[in-house]
A and B are shown apart, each in its own frame.
Chain A
Amino acid sequence: MFESFLQQVDLFFTAFNQQLYFSNIVILAFATLLGIMVGAIPGLTATMALALLINLSYGMELNLAITFLLGVYVGAIMGGCYSAIMINIPGTPAAAATALDGFPLAKRGEGGLAIGTGVIASFFGMLISIACLIFITPFIYKIALKFGQWEYFLLALFGVMICGNLSTGKDPIKGWVVGFIGFFTAMIGLDKVYAYPRFTFGLLQLKGGISLIPALIGVFGISEILIVLEKEVPYQILGKITRIIPSWKDILSLLPISIRSGIIGVGIGAVPGAGEDVAAWVAYDVGKRSSKQGEKFGTGCLEGVAAAETANNACIGGAMIPLLTLAVPGSPPAAMFLAAIWLHGIQPGPMLPIEHPGFLYEVAIALILATFFILVWGLILAKPMATILKLRREILMPIILPLTVIGAYASGVRIFDVKVTFFFGILGYILRKLEYPMAPLVLGIILGPLADISFRQALMQSRGSLIPLLQRPLGLILLAAIILIAYSGIKRTVQYTKEHLQIDISK
Chain B
Amino acid sequence: MLETDEKIAGADLIAGIFLVIFGFLVIITSLNMKVYKTFLDAPGFFPFILGIIFLILGSIMIVTSLKRRGYEQIKVLVKNFKITNIRQSVQFRRVIILISLMVVYIFGLIGRINFALATFLYLFFTLYYLKSARMIKIIIISFIASWAISAFFTGFFKVPLP
Taking beta carbons and an 8 Å cutoff, which residues of A are in contact with B?
55-56, 59, 171, 173-174, 176-177, 180, 183-184, 187, 191, 193-194, 196, 198-199, 222, 225-226, 229-231, 392, 394-395, 398-399, 401-403, 405-406, 409-410, 413, 415, 418-419, 422, 425-426, 429, 434-435, 451-452, 455-457, 459-460, 464, 490, 493-494, 496-497, 500-501, 504
Contact = CB atoms under 8 A, between A and B. Distances in A.
B121 to A, nearest CB: 11
A410 B5 CA distance: 41
Interface string B12-26: 100100010000001
Contacts of B160: 409-410, 413
In terms of DSSP, what is the predominant structure of the interface of chain A?
A: helix
Query: What secondary structure prevails in chain B residues at the interface with A?
Result: helix
Given A413-B160, A429-B95, 12 more contacts: A173-B60, A187-B46, A194-B36, A230-B91, A231-B94, A394-B130, A394-B131, A402-B149, A456-B41, A460-B40, A460-B41, A496-B64
B114 interface: no
Contact of B102 (A187, A222, A399): A222
A59 B50 contact: no
Given A460-B40, A497-B68, A187 B47 contact: yes
Interface string B73-109: 0000000000000000001001100110011011100
A405 B111 CA distance: 11
A419 B126 contact: no
B123 A435 contact: no
Contacts of B151: none
A398 B122 contact: yes
B47 A184 contact: yes
Nearest to B105: A401
Contact of A395 (B29, B110, B132): B132
Contacts of B5: 500
A56 B122 CA distance: 23
Contacts of A392: 132-133
Contacts of B91: 230-231
A422 B115 CA distance: 17
A59 B153 CA distance: 11
B33 A422 contact: no
Contact of A501 (B34, B68, B106): B68
Contacts of A429: 95
A426 B64 CA distance: 26
The 3 closest A-B pairs by CB, nearest first: A191-B43, A394-B132, A196-B43
B131 to A, nearest CB: 7
B11 interface: yes
Interface string B109-139: 0110001000100110011001111000000
23 contacts: A177-B19, A183-B50, A194-B34, A196-B43, A230-B95, A394-B132, A395-B127, A398-B126, A398-B130, A399-B145, A402-B115, A405-B106, A406-B149, A410-B159, A419-B106, A429-B95, A434-B8, A434-B11, A459-B40, A459-B41, A460-B40, A493-B64, A504-B68
Nearest to B132: A394
B34 to A, nearest CB: 6
A330 to B, nearest CB: 24
Given A56-B157, A394-B132, A401-B105, A184 B69 contact: no
Contacts of A457: 41
